[in-house]
Structure 1
C-alpha cells in the first residue's frame, strides 16, 4: 500500500518509513490519541477460538455481517451514549470487546468502531438527518442479531432496515 493511501486511511506512518524527502518534511500522520478501552483476551487453544467458523442457515461461514440503517433516530451526536450502547451490544451479543475508538465531528456526527475478538461493530451518524449506519460483523458463538434490538431501544428510530451477509461462504 502506498504512503499516500496509508495517510488517507489515517494510519500512523511513523512505523512505515517514508522516502527521505518525505521524512525531511516531517510526519504526515493523522493518527490521534484518544481514550480507549482495551480488555485482555484470555489465551485459547486453536480449537477454542472466539472467531471460529459457524454454520448458519445450513451454510458454513465465517460469520454474519449485519448492515443496519436507523432512520429518524435520536441521540446520534451523544458520544458517551453511543459508547455505552456499543458496550451493551457487545454484552448482549455475547461477544468479547477488545477496543473502542469513537471520533466526534464538528459540527455534528460520530464515527467509530468497537473491535471485537469476533470481529467488529462500526458506526457512522448524521444527526442532522436523523440517520445512523451500523455494521455488525461477528463470528463464532456471538449473536449479532441481538444488536438490532439494542440499537432500536437506544436510538428510537422510526424505521430500521437490516441486511445480512454471510461472510466467508466460499472458504474451503
Structure 2
C-alpha cells in the first residue's frame, strides 16, 4: 500500500504562555519549521485573537502546517501535513514543540490518501 501524504496531529502542552500569545513569534516558528523540514512555503496567514490566542496556517507546496493556541492553558494544537516522501512532517512538529518550550507533546500520525497503486493503475487503464 502507498500513501499520498503523512499528517501529524500534535497536542502540545505546558508551553510558554507569552510565546503562545505572540502572533509574530508563532508565525516565525511555523514558517521556520516548514523551511527547516525542507518544505517550500507558498502562503502565510495568521490571526491574533482578543483577549488571547493565535491561529495560523503556512501553506507549503507539499500541503500545510496549522496552529491554534490557548495561552491561558499553555496549549497548542498543531497539524503538519506533507505530501510525498521528500519532507518528514515530524521534523517540523518537533521544531515547533521545542521552540514553544513545551513540557509535553503527544501526536498521532495519519496516513493520507492510502491506496494500492496497482489498483489505481488498473482503474486508470479502464477509462
TM-score when normalising by structure 2? 0.85
Shift of 1:142: 1.2
Out of 96, 120, 133, the position equivalent to 2:40 is: 96
- The equivalent residue for 1:70 is 12
Summarize the alignment of residues 99-110 of structure 1 with structure 2, pairs less than 5 Å apart. 99-110=43-54
Shift of 1:148: 2.4
CA–CA distance in structure 1, aligned partners of residues 6 and 109 of structure 2: 7
Shift of 1:92: 1.5
SS for the counterpart of 2:92 is helix
Shift of 1:102: 0.3
Q: Which has the higher strand share?
A: 2
CA–CA distance in structure 2, aligned partners of residues 148 and 101 of structure 1: 18
Structure 1: stretches of 5+ with no match in the other structure: 1-58
- The equivalent residue for 2:59 is 115
SS for the counterpart of 1:61 is coil
SS for the counterpart of 1:60 is coil
- The equivalent residue for 2:87 is 142
Between 1 and 2, higher relative CO (CA 8 Å, sep ≥ 6) is seen in: 2
Structure number with bigger Rg = 1
Q: Is 1:164 the equivalent of 2:97? A: no
CA–CA distance in structure 2, aligned partners of residues 102 and 95 of structure 1: 18
Name segments (4+ residues, structure 1) moved above 2 Å.
none
Q: Which has the higher helix share?
A: 2
